[in-house]
Amino acid sequence: MQENLESPRVGLAALLENERKVLAAVPDIHVERVASFVVDGDRAAINWVFAYTDRDGRKIQLDEVAYQEWRNGKIIRERFYYDPAQRLRAVD
């Protein structure tokens, strides 16, 4: 799993640790909508739109594209593409 150009997180333990950190920091995160998706064989691209409240109480919306590669019913590689500046802009 990889965020933009950051180093990938590899292995189930690293993935679970990161998800726990995210959920501890923003326990109210939820999917607002799936704007669109494309599936081509073992590849998928999904445009997720998430909403959450940050530590300062601001409501934030994160619009990202997840590019996934699948093998035998499991995601083997996933990369998220988004503008990190979204985290700094509160929405009404």
Dihedral angle over CA of 21, 47, 66, 6, nearest 10: -70
The pTM of this model reads 0.84
Q: What is the pLDDT of residue 58?
A: 87
**What CATH fold (topology level) applies to the domain 2-88?**
Nuclear Transport Factor 2; Chain: A, (3.10.450)
pLDDT < 50 positions in the chain:
none
Task: Tell me the C-alpha distance between 33 and 63, whole Å.
Answer: 10
Q: What is the pLDDT of residue 4?
A: 95
Domain boundaries, the chain: 2-88
Q: What is the pLDDT of residue 23?
A: 85
Q: What is the pLDDT of residue 92?
A: 72
Q: What is the pLDDT of residue 55?
A: 81
23 three-class SS: helix
H or E stretch at 76: strand 74-81
Q: What is the pLDDT of residue 50?
A: 92
Q: What is the pLDDT of residue 27?
A: 75
